[in-house]
Structure 1
């Protein structure tokens, strides 16, 4: 990474942290959390909410420095963004349905029909959370970072660097549980960059994919809609029931990535160096 790209990326994250930490530290004290301890959901959500509420301000600052607009980072107010969001949502949901139905057919999971009623109270809050987390992370990692890095690197190198940062920064929250997911998180980042390329530089498709995966997996976990039978090794289904930490989750991402890559390689597809 050149000095220019490194400096811009570093300043972006340092500024974000500098604005977040004065709020996060008192909150962590009130929530009785210590960095050496794993975060509970009740502790993580307030800290995450403040971090992500600050993000648009940091991105706005980046637009002022670079003399660009949010649309240059892939976020605009056109109707096509919502159409792409819907397409990405459908693709993400379909990919997970195929994986979990396949695991059910193979006898690796069981559906807990008695728990479906739990969705009634959680699906909407998780939907809002998934959409917000999805757009913030897409705007930062597939928008600002990819654009900055492509000033000095080829699109594929820029994608690899931004995906590496995307994966590593997840270690902030739960290091022990996140380490096995790092390869999956990196691949997820690459797939989401592909989605932006396919969408002609817009974040709509990648936003839909990302938000759909967050919503679907969180609903499954929080409502306890599935249980693992133990008939398959955890390295396939996912360590600690985290799909990204297993072959199944990697396969899901690969299928979506290959599909997007095939679309990208069609002669009429736009050049990824937007």
Structure 2
């Protein structure tokens, strides 16, 4: 497979990944008493998601061996620089969302539920570790493997566009109704994360940190129900189905983050 077209390599990985996960998912679905006619509950989705993501590095290692590439080629470096970039990206991700939500508070688009602060302590660390896992695996796959492989046959900008489209559309696997309005935002998120890798000389740390920071902040807010939308403006501004990426606020967050990365690229 060393000389195989990049799209073939990508398809082999995706088929092997899903093929190996389906038996695991079937067993978990039975144990979790999930019924296909009903939507997945958070307590059902988490084990399925974690099992899918834990399989990914092993499948990716196998495909990487076939094409003679390692995780290092995909931007996953094992030194202090990735930890530094990870911390910086995480801080930037959380700060960008804090600024956007502060603006929404100021405009009266949403309100903060002070009484729910007590719910934070038990969930902060578990969500943090899940965010690191989700962010790390997705960056290794989409900004690491997919971008690197596609860039073998296409210009980097086109590889970025294609990998970001794949990243966005694969979110439909879990929740079609909630994910569909987010597709443009998810694609833009993918492009911003590609930029984060490029300005870091191929290191995935900054992109991983950004991704994990966004996941951690949003999941914490949703789980603790810290924010209530007032309905003063259309949810196309705040986010359809209470998902920031499905609204103007999320797009502004991504564009602003991308601008910061671009303007201060020499520091990353």
Q: Deviations over 1:143-189 (max 9, x none)?
A: 00001000000011000000000000011101111100111101000
Q: What TM-score do the two structures reach when normalised by structure 2?
A: 0.95
Counterpart residue number, 2:156: 155
Runs of 5+ unmatched residues, structure 2: none
Runs of 5+ unmatched residues, structure 1: 270-274
The 5-angstrom pairing of residues 13-24 of structure 1 reads 13-24=14-25
CA–CA distance in structure 1, aligned partners of residues 37 and 45 of structure 2: 14
CA–CA distance in structure 1, aligned partners of residues 235 and 131 of structure 2: 26
Counterpart residue number, 1:4: 5
Aligned with 1:72: secondary structure? coil
Counterpart residue number, 1:272: none
Counterpart residue number, 1:65: 66
CA–CA distance in structure 2, aligned partners of residues 155 and 35 of structure 1: 40
| Number of residues of Structure 1 aligned to a counterpart in Structure 2 | 265
Aligned with 2:77: secondary structure? coil
Deviation at residue 211 of structure 1 after TM alignment: 0.2
**Does the Cα contact within 8 Å between 1:198 and 1:263 map onto a contact in 2?**
no
Counterpart residue number, 1:177: 178
CA–CA distance in structure 1, aligned partners of residues 7 and 74 of structure 2: 18
Counterpart residue number, 1:209: 210
Moved beyond 4 Å, runs of 4+: none
Deviation at residue 263 of structure 1 after TM alignment: 4.0
CA–CA distance in structure 1, aligned partners of residues 243 and 15 of structure 2: 30
Deviation at residue 65 of structure 1 after TM alignment: 1.3
RMSD of aligned alpha carbons: 1.5
CA–CA distance in structure 2, aligned partners of residues 171 and 34 of structure 1: 18
Counterpart residue number, 2:139: 138
Q: What TM-score do the two structures reach when normalised by structure 1?
A: 0.93
Deviation at residue 103 of structure 1 after TM alignment: 0.3
Deviation at residue 249 of structure 1 after TM alignment: 0.3
